[in-house]
Amino acid sequence: MVGLFSRTVVAMTVRMPRWFVGWVSRRYVAGPKLEDAVRVMKRLSSEGSCFTIDVLGEEIKSLDEAKFFLEEYKRVIAAISDNKLDANLSIKPTAFGLLLDSEKGMENIESLVKMAHEHDMFVRLDMEDHRVTDDTIQVMLDMHEKGFKNVGVVLQARLFRTIDDIENIKQKLGQDADYRICKGIYLEPEDISHTQRQPIIDAMNECIDSMLDAGAYVGIASHDYPVIEHSLKALNERNMSPDGLDPRKNAGNQRANKGPGYEFQMLLGVRGPLRRKLNAKGHRTRVYIPYGEKWYEYSIRRLKENPTIGTQVAKAFLMPWSNRP
């Protein structure tokens, strides 16, 4: 059960003036403009981090909005290339019109994926709520079938189905599978998902093991110490380390601009000290960089969808020195 304190903090924050929400969110959102994201990435590059960029916004109401996201992500590709940044893309398929017009949505996504492929750049399909899990996985499979292997998907450990999704994707893509595994921000119904912290962590660790054993590339997206500790142990058991090539016989060739079969991923502004510690030990660490004009809507929706964030908000407000980005 989400703590009363965390729920109270969230309830208060969503009722605060826009400037206050902006003050809280500036730790977690690069800013409203692409230039803000570039500035943050240049600063964090000095720490050895790499990045994935998210243009804020997802489920849309018109195909004109989808055109905006397509053009904006093309600008992102150009900015990454021009500034020689170690970065890739994170996109939400619904922002490209997938739920409005599946054919046009796929056309938009393929257009972006093709451009990214020409720049030797990876595209991560962010996972949204359970309504679009099948559609999002299918987009990835369709892109691979078209020859675009620079596409991977996010899976959410809290969903009961995820361990089976890993096996199904393994059967279709084999060593070409490329995942980000995370707990999942969406609070899903209890008949389809874990709702308590420990079962979610246990499921996350099981998914990591399954992905590693399948020879897939695994982006371990977590700020939880039990998950990080389990991951380090799992990597060691498989003789995987940041010091050489991926030793798994079923892993395939080294991926461009990727780690040796795995990497750690964290949100901007969350557990910076832990990220720097992992990076200091040689592990590839990727920071999720969200930006866009919809920063306010993003912040409010994230708070409402997952009230457990309330404790992090309180910490950012009361102890801003404890977790610099």
Does 296 fall in a domain? no
d(CA 263, CA 285): 6
Mean pLDDT, rounded, for 99-117: 97
Q: Residue 161 is part of which domain span?
A: 30-291
Question: Where does the pLDDT of residue 252 fall: very low under 50, low under 70, confident under 90, or very high at 90 and above?
Answer: confident
Q: Has residue 312 been placed in a domain?
A: no
The confidence band for 26, taking pLDDT boundaries of 50, 70 and 90, is confident
Secondary structure (3-state) at 220? strand
The residue with greater pLDDT, 1 or 219, is 219
DSSP letter assigned to residue 159: B
CATH number of the domain to which 56 belongs: 3.20.20.220
Rounded distance, CA 183 to CA 42, Å? 28
Q: How far apart are CA 31 and CA 144, in angstroms?
A: 33
Alpha-carbon span 185 to 306, nearest angstrom: 6
25 is a domain residue = no
What pTM does this model have?
0.90
Within a domain: 86: yes
- % pLDDT > 90, the chain: 72
Task: Please name the helix (run of DSSP H) or strand (run of DSSP E) that holds residue 235, with its range, or none.
Answer: helix 225-237
Within a domain: 70: yes
Q: Please give the pLDDT value at position 171.
A: 97
**Tens of pLDDT, residues 115-148:** 999 999 999 999 998 999 999 999 999 999 999 9
Residue 64 pLDDT > 60: yes
> How many structural domains is the chain composed of?
1
Q: Is residue 84 part of a domain?
A: yes
Residue 305 falls inside a structural domain: no
Gap between the terminal Cα atoms of the chain: 29
> In angstroms, how far is CA 169 from the centroid of its own chain?
18
DSSP-assigned states of every residue in 31-44:
-SSHHHHHHHHHHH
Number of residues in the chain: 325
**Most confident range, picked from 50-59, 275-284, 287-296:** 275-284
**Which secondary structure element, helix H or strand E, spans residue 152, and what is its range?**
strand 151-156
- Is the pLDDT assigned to residue 114 strictly greater than 80? yes
For residue 18, give both structure tokens: 């826009």
pLDDT value at residue 323? 47
Residues 6+ apart with CB under 8 A from 313: 9, 10, 13, 24, 303
Please indicate, yes or no, if residue 18 is contained in any of the structural domains. Answer: no
CB 175: neighbour CB atoms within 10 A?
17
